Amino acid sequence: MTETLNPLLNKRIVLGVTGSIASYKAADLASKLTQSGAQVDAILTAGATRFVTPLVFQSVSGRRAYIDADLWGDQAHVLHIGLAHHADLLLIAPATANTLAKLAHGVSDNLLCVTALAATCPLLVAPAMDGGMFSHPATQANIALLSARGVQFCGPEEGHLASGLSAKGRMSEPLTLLGRVRYLLARGAIAGT
C-alpha cells in the first residue's frame, strides 16, 4: 500500500503519554497506530509510569519506549533532538493539565517536554482530566495559548470520569484519535508548535 492510500504508512509518530488514568488507553492507541503502518516511539512521563510501563508500549509497537532516565542515558545529548527531528507527528495522549501548562510555557524539564520544544512537526494533543481541572481558567488559558500557536486538539469528551462524575474531561477514544491522525497526516500541512 502506498502513502497516498495510507497516510500513516512508515510515518514516525512520537506518542507522549502523561500521568492520567487514561494512559491505559494510550497502549491501545499505540497498537492501532502501529497496525496502521506507523512507527511509534512512545515517551512516558514519570507520572505515566505510575499507571503503565514502557514494556507495554514496546510490546505493541515493536520499538523502544522511552522514560525520563533516557534523557540522561547513553544517547543523552542527541536523544530528544533525534526523536524530535525525525517525527512526522507528535501526539500527546493523554495530556494532563500539568503537561499542557508546561507546553504552553515552554517548560522542558522532562524528556517529553524537551522533545516537544525541539520538535517542528505538527503537535496533536488529547487532554484528559477531571472536569473542574479542564474548565479551570488556567487550563483554558493554556489551551488558548497553544491553539493560537497552531497546536491541534482532539477532545476532551463529555462523559464518565475516573472520579465517578460525568463531565467534560474524558480523553477521546483511540479510534477517534486514529481517525484524526490519519486526517492530519493526509492533509500534511498543519502548523507546528
Considering only 42, 128, 146, 185, the residue that binds ligand FMN (CB under 6 A) is 128
Q: 103: closest CA among 42, 192, 180, 170?
A: 192
- For residues 18 and 142, which CB has a smaller minimum distance to ligand FMN in the complex? 18
Min dist. Cβ of residue 100 to ligand FMN (A): 8
Strand, coil or helix: 2: coil
- For residues 8 and 104, which CB has a smaller minimum distance to ligand FMN in the complex? 104
- For residues 103 and 185, which CB has a smaller minimum distance to ligand FMN in the complex? 103
Distances (CA, A) of 156 to 70, 91, 101, 126, 138: 30, 14, 16, 7, 16
Judged by CB under 6 A, does residue 18 bind ligand FMN?
yes
Q: Which range in 30-38, 95-103, 142-150, 176-184 contacts ligand FMN by CB under 6 A? A: 95-103
Q: Which residues contact 69 (CB under 8 A, 6 or more apart)?
A: none
Site string for ligand FMN, 36-65 (x = CB under 6 A): ---------x-xx-----------------
Distances (CA, A) of 60 to 41, 88, 111, 112, 137: 11, 20, 21, 20, 37
